[in-house]
Amino acid sequence: MTLSLTSIIKKLLVLFLIFTGLYFAKDLLMPLCIGGILATLFLPLCKWMESKKITRNISIFFCLLTFLSIIFILIAVLGLKISELLTDLAFIKQKAIESGTHLQKYIFNHLNISIDEQFEILKNEQPSYSYILQTIFGSVAYCFTTFILVMAYFVFLLLYRDHIKTFLLKITPAAQKSEIKNILYSAAHISYQYLIGLSKMIGLLWIMYGIAFSIIGIKNAIFFAILCGMLEIIPYIGNITGTVLTVIFAAINGAHPLMLAGIVLSYGIIQLVQTWFFEPLIMGPQVKINPLFTIIALVMGELLWEIPGLVLAIPLTALLKIVCDHIPSLKPYGFLIGTIKPVVHPKII
């Protein structure tokens, strides 16, 4: 009993140290993880180009150019749709002012706080313009620096992938070299499968949400369809957030309650189609994580690395599951993270 308790305490201490290291090494590990995932996504294309006698440097440059082109196209499309959305800014502002006025009257009638007192409270709570500008400038600088780091890791991980693989094999005991090769192959293969499957899923969601929102008659339907599809990178939370934002903007634009109900109904139907048809067909069982650990991974990712942690939580958990599935002592943990297989009961004659 004492040994068992000591072993549990040691494991909990190691787990605590790992999460502490992940938290304090965020600025190093977060761009590295994003760059590694992107490198995994473009690895098959890079290998294919190298098989056609194209040098590795040119292959990597083409992969980088392809990725930047995709980012540019997405930003251009979203920017165009946002500019269309901003054409209704005056109307949205008027509706927001009306809603604020109703809220002020409600607070005065039910909480007996005068409008002047409400303005005074808001004035005291409102940050200064210099603080807002400083925060915006700091956020933009941080995002730009992180993006440059991600691109650097993306390029150099593709460039030195053989060197890194050789290093891992050198530090692995001879008896376990074949196992580490299997882990590296499975991690690269299944990560690629997950990312490609996720891209296909986002594309299908764009189509389904676009058709549904257009039939319902939502203004800027394509923009909200793209938004709901893109947020699929954050399971469960993303689609709900996109739907809530769609409902809020539709309500501000004076949508009928039946239209709002149609948005919610569309979300429910699309989620059923996605969960029961597209996910098993596209994503495959190898990268499936059960809903309990999906939520745990998302919460831990947000606690450790904030919004980027939400995006990275599921791919990193899928990689963790791959490692656990290939190491005998860790297989129970891979089983715990994975989905539950249906139990087939024998027929009773």
Distance separating alpha carbons of residues 12 and 14, to the nearest angstrom: 5
**pTM here?**
0.72
Task: Find the helix packing angle between 129-159 and 161-170, rounded to 10°.
Answer: 70
- According to the model, what pLDDT value does residue 196 have? 80
- According to the model, what pLDDT value does residue 346 have? 46
- According to the model, what pLDDT value does residue 113 have? 65
Which residues partner with 289 through β-bridges? 338
- According to the model, what pLDDT value does residue 59 have? 92
φ and ψ of 114, to 5 deg: -65, 160
Domain boundaries along the sequence of the chain: 26-171
Residue 282 · residue 201 · CB < 8 Å: yes
- According to the model, what pLDDT value does residue 349 have? 40
- According to the model, what pLDDT value does residue 57 have? 92
- According to the model, what pLDDT value does residue 178 have? 80
Distance separating alpha carbons of residues 266 and 214, to the nearest angstrom: 11
pLDDT in single tens digits along all 349 residues of the chain: 445 667 777 778 888 888 888 888 888 888 998 888 888 888 888 989 989 889 999 999 999 999 999 888 888 877 776 776 666 656 666 666 666 666 666 666 666 666 666 556 555 555 555 656 666 677 777 788 888 999 999 999 999 998 988 888 888 887 777 878 877 877 777 777 777 878 888 888 888 888 888 888 887 788 888 888 888 777 767 778 888 888 887 877 777 788 888 888 888 888 888 777 777 666 655 566 777 888 888 888 888 888 888 888 888 888 888 778 877 778 888 888 877 665 444 444 4
CA 304 to chain centre: 14
- According to the model, what pLDDT value does residue 4 have? 67
- According to the model, what pLDDT value does residue 64 have? 92
- According to the model, what pLDDT value does residue 61 have? 93
Q: How far is CA 173 from CA 164, 179, 180, 324, in A?
A: 16, 10, 10, 18
